[in-house]
Amino acid sequence: MKRTYQPKKKKRKRTHGFLKRSRTPGGRSVVRKRRQKGRKKLAV
């Protein structure tokens, strides 16, 4: 049986990357919250 997660570097960056996060209001809030929390990595 084929597994659901077939990792691809390009897909990962494009859907969860910093640029994509910065584009939408929701994504920007995610980055803001992660900054507040003190996460080392804000996005992928």
Residue 15, domain CATH: 1.10.287.3980
Question: Is position 5 within any domain?
Answer: no
Q: Can you say whether the dihedral through the CA atoms of 11, 13, 19, 21 is positive or negative?
A: positive
Q: What percent of the chain has pLDDT over 90?
A: 100
Domain count, the chain: 1
Question: Is position 36 within any domain?
Answer: yes
In this structure, what token pair is assigned to residue 44?
A: 């992928």
pTM over 0.75? The answer is: yes
Q: What is the mean pLDDT of residues 17-34?
A: 96
Question: Is position 1 within any domain?
Answer: no
Question: Is position 38 within any domain?
Answer: yes
d(CA 15, CA 44): 9
The confidence band for 22, taking pLDDT boundaries of 50, 70 and 90, is very high
Question: Is position 41 within any domain?
Answer: yes
Instruction: State the residue range of the domain holding 28.
Output: 10-44
Question: Is position 3 within any domain?
Answer: no
